[in-house]
Amino acid sequence: MKILITGGAGFIGSHLAEALLACDEEVFIIDDLSTGSIDNIIHLKENPLFHYTIDTIKNQSLMAELVDRCDLLFHLAAAVGVKLIVESPVNTIETNIYGTEVVLQLANKKKKKVVITSTSEVYGKSDAIPFQEDADMVLGPTTKGRWSYACSKAIDEFLALAYYKEKKLPVVIVRLFNTVGPRQTGRYGMVVPTFVQQALLNHPITIYGDGRQSRSFSHVSDVVRGLTGLSRHPDAVGQVFNIGNNKEISIEALAQLIKKKTGSSSEIVYIPYDQAYEEGFEDMQRRVPDITKIGRLIGFEPEVGINEIIDSVIDYYYKQ
């Protein structure tokens, strides 16, 4: 098969490309390197089945050509990372909505299957833990920038489902929960690489808020397995799936675990949200996926726990 990955030089995209190449698929990627990096794909460049284009998915004629050449599309290109979203809200909304529009419109011409990656952010502040795919979205007001990310991704989901219902375009929607692993950078605020880098440098480990908020982290290899599994299953079409790990850890416990594993002398400091992000920033207290649906369809179960997840990130930064 010929497979197109938008955002293929990103953290998750590059791991997905690697996994597909390992199955002898022909992989095309497009990435504008806004948050992705050539370093993420440099080792793939020698592979004759790997092709890369450095450009934006907003370049419609180029995208038309790429979509035309491929049988399956993974749409991962997006503005990601809460810090980036708070700092560049216009770009977040435009990239996430317009980019997906382009991908769906082009895919629809010859009804190419599209896997649309959405996010656990769409559940927002809901306390209906664990989050089920058909649960309500509980978002804050439009005056609080963070929610633009969830809203833009929710529009992507609506649009993809509309293409499925109205035009019979085969789409699969996946909501990724906090994904971690080698190549993820802390530059856009993601907590695990940030804490690991701080710990390795013996710099203060910065907990935002009181640290009692929790997340469920999954390793990128589990996420990639979920993505490829769903893309291959005919019954996944027209549906929404959570992909993640349902084991939860508080941010404070995470900081302590990373400090211990790195043998760091870092001090652990607490920074108010207003200072870390922006005035009036709202965080979510807990975020846990219900993974029954993906488990039932493709037998998905996360294999990598928090200890191995952290070890893989420490390992990666040691080698940098």
Q: Which residues in this chain contact ligand UDP in the complex, by CB under 6 A?
A: 82, 178, 189-191, 194, 206-208, 213, 215, 251, 283
239 vs 246, beta carbon nearer ligand UDP: 246
- The residue from 52, 98, 123, 149 that is catalytic is 149
Burial of 238 from C-beta contacts in 10 A (0-12 / 13-18 / 19+): middle
Question: Cβ of 311: how many Cβ atoms within 10 Å?
Answer: 13
**Quick one: which H or E segment has residue 2?**
strand 2-6
CB atoms < 10 A from the CB of 199, how many? 25
Minimum CB separation of residue 250 from ligand UDP in Å reads 10
Cβ proximity to ligand UDP: between 49 and 317 the closer is 317
**Pairing mode of beta strands 249-250, 179-180:** unpaired
Supply the minimum distance, in Å, between the C-beta of residue 14 and ligand UDP: 19
Which token pair is 12? 């998750």
The secondary structure element, H or E, covering residue 273 is: helix 273-276
Q: Which is nearer to ligand UDP, 165 or 203 (CB)?
A: 203
Name the minimum Å distance from CB 52 to ligand UDP. Answer: 27
Q: Which is nearer to ligand UDP, 87 or 283 (CB)?
A: 283
The span from the CA of 137 to the CA of 175, in Å, is 13
CA 7 to chain centre: 10
Q: For tokens 């007001």, what's the residue?
A: 141
Clarify whether 149 is annotated catalytic. yes
Task: Please identify, using beta-carbon distances, which residue of 50 and 123 lies nearer to ligand UDP.
Answer: 123
> Taking the mean position of all CA atoms in its chain, how far away is CA 68?
25
User: How far apart are CB 244 and ligand UDP at their closest, in Å?
Assistant: 11
Separation of CA 291 from chain center: 16
- CB 96 to ligand UDP: min, Å: 14
101 is written with which tokens? Answer: 């529009």
Enzyme catalytic residues: 149
